[in-house]
Amino acid sequence: MAVLVNKDTTLLVQGMTGAQGSLHTRACAAYGTQVVAGVTPGKGGETFDGIPVFNTVAEGVEATGANASMIFVPPPFAADAIMEAADAGIGVIVCITEGIPVVDMVKAVDYVAARDAVLIGPNCPGIITPEQCKIGIMPGYIHKAGTVGVVSRSGTLTYEAVWQLTQLGLGQSTCIGIGGDPVNGTSFVECLSWFEEDPDTEGVVMIGEIGGEAEEEAALFAKAYMTKPIVGFIAGRTAPPGRRMGHAGAIISGGHGTAKEKVQVMEEAGIHIVPTPDLIGQRMKELLKG
């Protein structure tokens, strides 16, 4: 099994004919994802690599039955693109765009939630179920089908963890990059609940970073509900308070959201914290063998 996306997922790409949209549409299609439609206003009726292009998401869904969307729309318009996808009945919306205004995302997140859709991102690498479906910008070749779920706020650290797991012979069930913005669509808690419910996921890698309380909330959920081992890592341990490090959401403010606080709460919840990212794969291998 898999979480959220699989070989039966049919993908519509918003902003497909732009530079980044076209590049990653081709990569997703080459991986084996069923890319069935694209949306670029004003280019309806055209095709891209044999994929039909529509003026609106609603037209694309009606014509192809697409059930997932990948968004490469510029920041000023990306929140509207998210809401358009939800309004058209898309169930899984993956927004890659970085730099969307926070006030726009607050509105978009509420809009998506009211329609029972799942939003991954923004400012994220996407989601992949290895050897079945890739929706995003991650390098497909580093992934291997298996039983370890991965969820992360950092794209590059996701790739690092995945490559370690693959090299150690541990495949992944699904890998989800939730993004590092202050307001995003999918939380650690939701991802952990999906992995807990998935019978083919045996362990979970969770990669967090400084800022916010998402990791602490996930730790409390894990303590109460998770039966599967979790390996955790928190990035940004040396970041000074008040200075943003990398992601917009990675900032320690008011003395809260520090790496020390997160690590303490996670360890108290039974999550196996590693001090450096190069130990993620090995620790998971030890836990699954034990």
User: Where residue 63 sits, what CATH number does that domain have?
Assistant: 3.40.50.720
Query: How much is the average pLDDT of 134-153?
Result: 98
3-class DSSP state of 181? coil
Task: Look at residue 131 and tell me if it is in a domain.
Answer: no
The answer on 102 and 163 residing in a single domain is no
**Is 50 exceeded by the pLDDT of residue 61?**
yes
* CA 186 to the chain's CA centroid: 8
Q: What are phi and psi of 239, to 5 degrees?
A: -70, 135
> 133, 147, 125, 94: which is closest to 6 by C-alpha?
133
Q: Which residues pair with 51 in a beta bridge?
A: 48
Contact, 43 vs 17, CB < 8 A? yes
C-alpha distance from residue 86 to each of 78, 108, 118 (Å): 13, 9, 9
Give the total number of structural domains in the chain: 2
The answer on 281 and 144 residing in a single domain is yes
The answer on 165 and 103 residing in a single domain is no
Contact, 194 vs 226, CB < 8 A? no
Instruction: Give the sign of the dihedral formed by CA 128, CA 130, CA 134, CA 137.
Output: positive
Residue 198, domain extent: 138-289
Share of the chain above pLDDT 70, in %: 93
Task: Look at residue 127 and tell me if it is in a domain.
Answer: no
Q: C-alpha angle 232/113/39, rounded to 5°? A: 100
The 8-class DSSP code of residue 239 comes to P
**Is 60 exceeded by the pLDDT of residue 243?**
no
Task: Look at residue 126 and tell me if it is in a domain.
Answer: no
Contact, 38 vs 60, CB < 8 A? yes
pLDDT band at 21 (very low <50, low <70, confident <90, very high): very high
| pLDDT at residue 254, rounded to an integer | 46
Task: Look at residue 114 and tell me if it is in a domain.
Answer: yes
Residue 49 class from Cβ within 10 Å (0-12 exposed, 13-18 middle, 19+ buried)? exposed
Between 58 and 249, the more confident residue is: 58
Of 14-28, 95-109, 133-147, 257-271, which gets the smallest average pLDDT? 257-271
pLDDT band at 247 (very low <50, low <70, confident <90, very high): low
| pLDDT at residue 180, rounded to an integer | 87
What tokens does 140 get?
């497909």
Calculate the dihedral angle through the C-alpha atoms of 187, 169, 1, 87, rounding to the nearest 10 degrees: 40
Q: Give the global pTM.
A: 0.94
Between 248 and 198, the more confident residue is: 198
**Is 70 exceeded by the pLDDT of residue 250?**
no
pLDDT tens across 212-230, in order?
Answer: 889 999 999 999 999 999 9
Query: How much is the average pLDDT of 37-43?
Result: 97
DSSP run (H or E) holding 191: helix 188-197
**Is 80 exceeded by the pLDDT of residue 47?**
yes
- Of 94, 120, 146, the one marking the end of a domain is 120
CA distance 256 to 253: 6
Task: Look at residue 128 and tell me if it is in a domain.
Answer: no
Task: Look at residue 130 and tell me if it is in a domain.
Answer: no
**Is 60 exceeded by the pLDDT of residue 251?**
no
pLDDT tens across 185-213, in order?
Answer: 999 999 999 999 999 999 999 999 888 88
Task: Look at residue 2 and tell me if it is in a domain.
Answer: no
- Of 120, 149, 182, the one marking the end of a domain is 120
Point out the residues that are catalytic: 247
The answer on 174 and 114 residing in a single domain is no
Share of the chain above pLDDT 90, in %: 86
DSSP run (H or E) holding 27: helix 19-31
CATH number of the domain that 167 lies in? 3.40.50.261
The answer on 196 and 86 residing in a single domain is no
State the average pLDDT for the chain: 93
The answer on 142 and 230 residing in a single domain is yes
| pLDDT at residue 35, rounded to an integer | 98
Contact, 3 vs 176, CB < 8 A? yes
**Is 60 exceeded by the pLDDT of residue 173?**
yes
CA distance 117 to 250: 26
3-class DSSP state of 71? strand
